[in-house]
Amino acid sequence: MPSSEITALSRYGINKLKLSNADKFATFTPIGVYGGEAKRWVELIVSPNGIFNHNFLKFRVKHDDSTSAWFIRKEPQTLKNPVEQEIFTEEVFFKVISGLA
C-alpha cells in the first residue's frame, strides 16, 4: 500500500458510528475503506431490543462509483436466497432504523 493511502487512512478519527434510543441501537462500521471491490463498504447492524442476539438485523452498504449512489442490502446473502440491493435513500434509512423508535 502506498504511503499516501496509509496517511489518508490515518486521518479517520471515527471507527464506528452508533445511534441509540434507550437500550436500542444501530451501528455503522466501515469494513472496507480502500482497495478495488473492498472499498467503500459499511456494515450496519440494528438491534431493536438492545442486545446482540439472533434478533439483530445486519446490512451491507456500498458506494457505487459508476452511479455515485449508495446501495444497501440485507445480510446474509445465500445462493438459495439472494437479496436484492436498493438505493440507500433517506426513506430507506429511516425504514431500516425504525426499530429504534
Which residues have CB under 8 Å from 28's CB, separation 6+? 16, 17, 18, 42, 43, 44, 61
Whole-number mean pLDDT of the chain? 78
Q: Is residue 5 part of a domain?
A: no
Q: Is residue 9 part of a domain?
A: no
Q: Is residue 4 part of a domain?
A: no
CB 63 within 8 A of CB 80: no
Q: How many domains does the chain divide into?
A: 1
CA-nearest of 88, 99, 90, 97 to 64 is: 88
List the domain range (segments joined by +) for residue 71: 16-100
For residues 6-30, give the mean pLDDT. 75
pLDDT band at 86 (very low <50, low <70, confident <90, very high): very high
Q: Is residue 11 part of a domain?
A: no
Q: Which three cell numbers stand for residue 94?
A: 429511516
